[in-house]
Amino acid sequence: MDFMELTHVTHTFGPVYDENSRILILGSFPSVKSREQQFYYGHPQNRFWKVAAALWGEEKPETIEAKKEFLLKHQIALWDVIESCDIMGSSDSSIRNVVPNDMDVILKAAAIEGIFLNGDKAYQLYLKYCKKEGQPPVKKLPSTSPANAAWNLEKLLAAWGEALGGGLV
């Protein structure tokens, strides 16, 4: 394995939301693949889009435009906790020197009813840098990352479905 250095990286694509968004889903920071594609959950092995499509009973969106339309249609806002950080590749465990995103950008524009964190690292970072009094309830979800091999698609669907209200479809 090559030794990789920490690189300071800034998030280069914005959040997806509108005034109708009711659910805010936050990741930690985009993977190398997502940064290359300039959109969320761009790694082909990440299960986010499969999970979201299955929960809402739709085909998995393939293009960035289709993904944005899917999110807005289902009142989902999507962003990351981190605006910039030092990171080794896509490794959440290597994240250092965090500058968080300002959650008020979305929270003041939409009546968000719940904030859902995609994985342990996103949850830890959110609590450390972004959590403020008066914000909507926060729930940690199992990561859709391929690194979370302990959670197969079926288990992810069950956990995400339960957290997001079960009766979403």
> For residues 103 and 15, is the Cβ–Cβ distance under 8 A?
no
> For residues 21 and 76, is the Cβ–Cβ distance under 8 A?
yes
Active site residue 46: yes
What own/partner pairs with CB < 8 Å and gap ≥ 24 does 145-150 have? 145/31, 145/43, 145/46, 145/92, 145/118, 145/119, 146/43, 146/45, 146/46, 146/47, 147/92, 148/119
Which among 46, 97, 118, 148 is annotated as catalytic?
46
The catalytic residues are: 46
